[in-house]
Structure 1
Amino acid sequence: MTTFALVGAGPGLGLATARRFGAAGHSVALISRSAERLDSLTAELASDGIQARGFTADVLDPASLTAALQDAAGTLGPIEILQHSPVPRADFMKPVLDTHADDLDAPLAFSVKGPLTCVNAVLPGMRALGRGTLLFVNGGSAVRPNTAVAGTSIAFAAESAYAHMLHDALAPENIHAAQLIVPGAIRPDAEHSSPDALAQRLYDIHTERTGFRHYAEPMPE
C-alpha cells in the first residue's frame, strides 16, 4: 500500500482530498502544525474506514517537514502522492506599496523552501516505486499578480516556476508534477470549487497525468 501525504491538513480541502485518496486505497499522512487538528481529522477518516496518521510539522521549519515525511513513509508505506496546499498566513498579504524586502522572507520560505523541502524528502521513495505525483494547489495570484496581496503573488509565482521545472525534469521518471489553480474562495456550495469537487479534480490530475497547470474554474476578467 502506498501513501498520500498532505502538507497543510485542514477540515476543508485537506479532509476532502484525504477522503478521496483514502477511498482509492491509499494510506493517508496528514501534516499540520496543530496536533489537536490532526487528532480530529484522523478520527473522522477512521470513521470512514481510512487508515490515516497525523504528523506535526511546520512548513517554515524544513527539519520538521523532512522528519514528518520520513516518519510517514516509514509508518504507513512509501509516499506515492504528495499534495502541498497549506494556507498562507494573513500577514503575507500586504499591498505591494507597503511591502518591504523583509516582508518576503516568510512567504518565500512558505511557498518555495517548503515545497522544495517536501519534494526532496519524498523523491527518493517515488524513484524507488518507479512512479509518483506531486500536486501543488495555489490561488489565482500565482498566475495573475494582485497588487493587494504582494507576498503571496510573488511567492506563488516562484512556487509555480519551481513546480513547472519539476514537471519537465521528472516526466521521464514517471513522476508527474502538476498545479491546480483555485481562482476564488473554496466554498461548500461552489460547483467547481467546493472541497469535494476540488478533491475529485486533484484525484483526476493524479490518475490522468496530463499537463502541468489546471484551473478549478475560469479566471475572472
Structure 2
Amino acid sequence: MSSIAIVGAGPGLGAAVARRFGREGHRVALLARDADRLAALAEELAGLGVEARGYPCDVRDPLALAGALERAGDELGTVEILQYSPVPQRDFMRPVLETTHADLLGPVEFSVYGPVAAVQQVLPGMRELGRGTVLLVNGGTAVIPHPDRAGTSVAFAAESAYGHLLHDALAGEGIHVAQLVIPGAIVEGHARKDPAVLADTLWAIHRDRHGFRHYADDLDG
C-alpha cells in the first residue's frame, strides 16, 4: 500500500487534497507545524473513511521534514505522491529594495531546501515502486516576480527551476514532477480556485501525467 504526503496540510487546500486522494484509496500523511490541527484533520478524514495521520514538522528544518516523511512511509506505506504546498510567511514578502541577503534565508529554506529535502527522502521509495508523483504548488510570483514580494519571487523561481529539472531527469523512471501555479488567493466558491476544484486539478495532473507547469487560473485573474 502506498500513500500521499501533503507537506503544508491545512484546513483549505491540504484538507481538500486529502479528501480527494483519500477517495481514490490513498492513505494520507499530513505534515505541518501545528500538531493539534493535524490531529483534528486526521480525525475528520477518518470520519470520511480515509486513513490519515499527522506528522508535525517545520519545513525550514530539513532533517525534521525528512524524518517526518520517513515515519509516514513506515506507518502508511511508501510515499507514492508528494505534494509540497506550505503557505509562505508574510515576512517573506518585502519590497525588493528593502530586501537584504538575510531576508532571503527564510524564503530559500522554505521553498528550496524544503522541497529538496522532501524529494530526496521519498525518491528511493518511488524508484522502488517504479512510479511516483511530485506536485509543487506555488503562487503566481513563481512565474511573474512581484516587486513587493521579493522573497517569494526569488524562492519560488528557484523551486520552479528545481522542479523542472526533476521533471526532465525523472520522466524516464515513471516519476512525474509537476507544478501547479495558483495566481492570487485560494477562494471558496471560485470556479477555478475553490479548494475542492484545485484538489480535482491536482488529481488530474497526477492521473494524466503530462507537462510540468499547469495554471489554476489566468495570471491576471
TM-score normalised to structure 1 length: 0.99
CA distance in 1: counterparts of 2:67 and 2:124, whole angstroms: 14
Aligned position for 1:174? 174
Structure 1 distance, partners of 2:2, 2:81, is 8
Q: Which runs of 5+ in 2 are unaligned?
A: none
- Give the Å deviation of 1:189: 1.4
Counterpart residue type for residue 145 of structure 2? P
Q: Which amino acid aligns with 1:158?
A: A
What stretches of structure 1 of length at least 5 have no aligned partner?
Answer: none
In structure 2, give the amino acid aligned to 1:6. Answer: I
In the alignment, what sits opposite 1:52? 52
1:203, 1:40 → 2: CA distance? 23
Q: Cα deviations across residues 163-211 of structure 1 (Å, max 9, x unaligned)? A: 0000000000000000000011101111000000000000000000010
Partner of 2:7: 7
Measured in 2, the distance between the counterparts of 1:119 and 1:35 equals 22
Aligned to 1:218: 218
- Normalising by structure 2, we get a TM-score of 0.99
Residue 101 of structure 2 corresponds to residue 111 of structure 1? no
**Percent identity of paired positions between Structure 1 and Structure 2:** 58
Moved over 6 A (4+): none
- Matched residue type, 1:77: G
Matched with 1:153 is: 153
Kindly provide the amino acid, as one letter, of the partner of residue 112 in structure 1: V
Residues 1:29 and 2:26 aligned together? no
RMSD: 0.7
Q: Kindly provide the CA deviation profile for residues 6-25 of structure 1, in whole angstroms up to 9, marking residues without a partner as x.
A: 00010000000000001000
Separation of aligned partners in 2, 1:166 and 1:21: 23
Give the total of aligned pairs.
Answer: 221
